[in-house]
Chain A
Amino acid sequence: MINFLLLISRQGKTRLTKWYQTYSAKEKARTVREITSTVLARALKMCNFVEWRDKKIVYKRYASLFFVACIDQDDNELITLEKIHLFVEVLDRYFGNVCELDIIFNFHKAYYILDELFIGGELQESSKKEVLRVCSQMDDLMEEAKEEAANGNQGPSRRR
């Protein structure tokens, strides 16, 4: 299973973290620091796997972002790369040619998408289409909820 998932920019900034195991805040910070420096230091042609403590780091760079997943020793590294790719493709379709800025400004949406792909570090859905369909349905629901909230709000609307 995936223990955690990180999105790290090439400058070493964290863009998204998702923890599927329990770590204390301190451990999280240290892990992110350690992994960021390890992954960023690797040359382009090297393989996408790094052994880290008793786990394995599988990472892949897409444009300016590193997608990093930490898996158990006996997990399949190659299929993990595919899972990362699946996430990237869904992001790409959802945002339409996704870039780092999309993820910075819509980090919550990236999390929503992630939650449709993985639960507890296990894969939930293998079809991009299905994930995208669900996401757009949920967005519709969000719009409705927003209107509802706006109508329910009597005071002068400061929202838009």
Chain B
Amino acid sequence: MSIRLRELIRAVRACKTAAEERGVVAQECARIRTAFKEEDTEFRNRNVAKLLFIHMLGYPSHFGQMECIKLITSPNYMDKRIGYLGLTLLLTDQEEVLMLVTNSLKVDMHSSNMFVAGLSLTTVGNLATPDIARDLMMEVEKHLRGGRPYLVKKAALCCIRILRHLPEHVEDFMERIMEVLKDRHHGVLVAGVQLITAVVESDPKEYAPAFASVAPSLVKMLRNLLSVGYAPEHDVAGVSDPFLQVHILRLLRLLGQHAEGVTDTMSDALAQVASNTETAKNAGNAILYECVQTIMTLDTENGLKVLAVNILGRFLLNRDNNIRYVALNTLGKVVQLDPASVQRHRSTIVDCLKDPDISIRQRALELIHQLVNESTVVSLTREMLNYLVVAMPEHKAQLCDKITAAAERYAPDRRWRIETLITMLSIAGSHCNERITSGTIMYIGQCKEFHGQAVHKLAAALQEDMVAAPSGLMKVAVWCIGEFADLLASPQDAFPAVEGGSAMCPAQDAMPHEEIIDLLEDLLNHHSATASSRSSALTALAKASYRLGEGLGEDGKARVEEMLEGYRSSITLELQQRSCEYLNLLSPQWDVVKKEALDRMPVMDEEAFRERRARYTMGAGMGAFDDAPGAGDRSPKPQASASSSAPAAGPSPSKNGLPIPSCSSNGGGDLLDLEDIFGGGGGSAPAAATAAAVSPAVAAAAAPGAGNGAAAAAAAGGVDLLADVFGGGGGLVPSKAAPANTAAPGPGPVAVGGDSDDFGGFEVAPPREEKMVAFDKSGLRVVFSPSKPDASDPSKSKVSIAFTNTSDEEISGLVFQAAVPKSFTMKMGALSGHNLPPHSDGVVSQEINVTNAMQGTKSLMMKLKIQFRRGTVNVAEVAQVAQFPAGF
């Protein structure tokens, strides 16, 4: 028994819960399925209709597809109609089943009944696949010339879909399409205009000239519409057929843009539309909106353009939000062509930023961003900053980018730019990406004369609301406080206002030393602090304490040490290491090197930085950019090779730690990717070299000095949790570390810049690990660090290999092959990279595991084949390595 559609709808609507509804639907679906299976023709129509309703509720309905196709083949109009409706609702043009209806569509298109043919045309227009389009093209073309307006308009819209699928057939339809515009029926005209628009849009260069000849008749049509007076059939709010007018204006724009340009009659018609259209209602505004776009796009005379811009100005002041939206939207397109006319409305546009409607605000923001130039940057940036306060969180990042870009491009003076950036960071610093924060730091570094003001401002911004301070602000502030603590502790002179730029800058009082330390303490203990922000804060603390010097007093010094001490046993390697190093560095015995180690960062060369960053992001040497704690020691720094003093006394665990201290003792390593500074600006190399030279000494010296020196040395050696092992194990490590102290800063026995990098290096302080230069030619140095990983099995050896580029050119396409005598078995790891930047050290590494089957009688030898490309030169070398230490 089949219930009626109406009853089903009622039953569904009566359901109180979703579960109940599901039950009703499931039951009905089952009934419908059964009916379909039993080939029930009597109620097929009704069942499909019910299924369509169920489909709309969101339940599966694919089983009705075949029934729709069956209904379409029925001669009964009622069945046909529901069948076609089902087809368009249940199917997409991706389904194969559609092929089955091609024939029915063809038959129906030939039907003498206008409405049956109409159904078929509608379906083709909504759903045709390329195959159907090809098969029915001729039928549609026939209807296009058929004469019955009802079918001509449908056929015209059908053509849009057909020609979209079969662009090669446009030529065949061309003549027919032009004829369509001779009709008087508005439905036919509007369909025809849209058809031509679609065809021209598909390939303006090809078809705009071909259809250029219709332009005069379009203009004529437009004029007729304007002069016709009241036509009840097509009147909308006092405007005669706005739909047709809009579509004509749009087509005229396309044709004028890509073909003949603007004729006098066209200009006249546009002027007539622009000045005579009723603006009280939406319909009239829709026409004006289209007309303005056409005028502004086309090469019309200036008078007309002024008229158009004035219309937009009026739109902008309209109370209706829709109209304001389209005005902003159009001004956004106009601004490139005619910036001056848009600038006039600047204040109105700025007001739109305060609108409660997000659509309007977004449009206004886009527009404002485009309006920024040398003369407006100050006021518009202020507006953008104001908006930043209230903007939706998801838009803040984008807005920050825009402000940064505007400040970078048009800043009237340096101080203004710094102030803007700082203000932006304090409003939305947590939405700023790394690029903005590091860019700000870089820029502040460059502006020597404003260091004091900047650091005062940052400190004040932090103090204002420490709890809610955004991360970006903290990042920049911590760096600046570390670098310029002495300036923060001294009063700053006022700066006069700059005309058209920064406002007056009041004099700043000196900040008491305790407060500076308080600030850093707050930053260190901030609720949102991360390991990386803490490590920056530790560095800042060390630097600040050095800069404040004696002024800090004994109490202050003790506090700093206490704070550093707190991280001495941190489980985060980076923090522990920094803590240990700085504690030592601040002790009086290192006064000699302190100045150089904690000196101000050299000013960064922005160009070199960018270049380098671009190269790195493309190249393989990404390791150097990671500031994750572990990555520090995996990628020995470029400057390490510059310091020939590298690891003191070979077998000391401290040498593993070399890369880290060299980086962190320079401060702010995490903030700015020190590698870039040193690698990029050659000039700063000396400072780096000293810093690098200092660090191992510090680390080594720590060993005998402090009570738990062993732990300190181990910690500096890049081991955190393992520190306990060393501390407990006692005996071995201190004795190893001791010679390190004596050998300290001088060149060690193996003067190799690179380092054995990997973690394998400090598996329980490997007692045997020596370095040997296996190859050093043509700008490439290969250093072997052979070791015995398994103390119980002497036949197994591991060779860690570090590649160093000693030349001025980049090495790329590195291929490294090794061979061993037959009595050995060898397992080679993968090369960690194939490119080495100039003077880079250990960016690429490799590991080889060798097992000696004749341990004790034969010793290890290796034959190497190395190929690479240095600059533009291809290099291929062969080398033999036989000088392995005894026991390998």
Contact = CB atoms under 8 A, between A and B. Distances in A.
B356 A76 contact: no
B157 A47 contact: no
A37 interface: no
**Residue among A83, A123, A153 facing the most chain B CB atoms (10 A cut-off):** A123
B857 interface: no
A63 interface: no
Contacts of A14: 56, 58
A3 interface: no
B126 interface: yes
B410 interface: no
Contact of A108 (B49, B250, B289, B357): B49
B92 A22 contact: yes
B601 interface: no
A125 B53 contact: no
Interface string A82-97: 1100100000000000
A142 B359 contact: no
B186 interface: yes
A46 B233 contact: no
A40 interface: no
B77 A141 contact: yes
Contacts of A19: 92
Interface string B226-250: 0000000110100001111011001
A46 B363 CA distance: 14
A124 B154 contact: yes
Contacts of B53: 107
A129 B233 CA distance: 7
A144 B356 CA distance: 55
Given A76-B289, A107-B52, A107-B53, A145 B160 contact: no
B94 interface: yes
A92 to B, nearest CB: 15
Contact of A142 (B78, B250, B289): B78
A23 B290 contact: no
A17 to B, nearest CB: 7
B191 A142 contact: no
Contacts of A86: 236, 243
B56 A78 contact: no
A115 B89 CA distance: 12
Interface in B293-347: 320-326, 329
Interface in B757-801: none
A46 B359 contact: yes
Contacts of A77: 322, 325-326, 329
Contact of B286 (A76, A134, A142): A76
Interface in B843-871: none
A48 B49 CA distance: 33
B92 A23 contact: yes
A48 B79 CA distance: 39
B161 interface: yes
Given A76-B250, A119-B122, A81 B282 contact: yes
Interface string A128-154: 011000100110011011101100010
Interface string A108-129: 1001100100011011111101
Contact of A122 (B82, B191, B286, B321): B191
Interface string B38-80: 0000100000010011001010000000000000000011110
A24 B322 contact: no
B186 A126 contact: yes
Given A77-B326, A81-B286, A153-B42, A122 B78 contact: no
Given A137-B115, A145-B77, A79 B286 contact: yes
A16 interface: yes
B190 interface: yes
A124 B77 contact: no
A134 B154 CA distance: 13
Contacts of B387: none
A35 interface: no
A54 B122 CA distance: 28
B502 interface: no
Contacts of A104: 9, 13
A127 B234 contact: yes
B661 interface: no
A61 to B, nearest CB: 13
A84 B155 CA distance: 23
Nearest to B158: A119
Nearest to B286: A78
Contacts of A16: 56
B96 to A, nearest CB: 14
A86 B242 CA distance: 11
Contacts of B357: 43, 45-47
A37 B619 CA distance: 45
A142 B359 CA distance: 45
Interface string A48-62: 111100000000000
A149 B76 contact: yes
A58 to B, nearest CB: 9
Contacts of B329: 77
B324 A145 contact: no
A122 B197 CA distance: 11
Contacts of B77: 141-142, 144-145
B290 A107 contact: no
B190 A17 contact: no
14 contacts: A20-B126, A24-B94, A46-B356, A47-B357, A49-B322, A79-B286, A82-B243, A83-B243, A108-B85, A120-B160, A122-B191, A124-B154, A127-B187, A130-B233
Given A78-B323, A108-B82, A127-B186, 20 more contacts: A24-B92, A45-B321, A46-B359, A47-B320, A47-B325, A47-B357, A49-B359, A76-B290, A77-B325, A77-B326, A79-B242, A81-B322, A107-B56, A119-B122, A120-B125, A120-B126, A122-B194, A138-B81, A142-B77, A145-B77
What are the nearest 7 A-B pairs in CB distance? A78-B286, A47-B321, A119-B125, A145-B78, A119-B157, A46-B357, A125-B187
Interface of A: 1, 14-17, 19-20, 22-24, 29, 43, 45-51, 76-79, 81-83, 86, 104-105, 107-108, 111-112, 115, 119-120, 122-127, 129-130, 134, 137-138, 141-142, 144-146, 148-149, 153, 155, 158
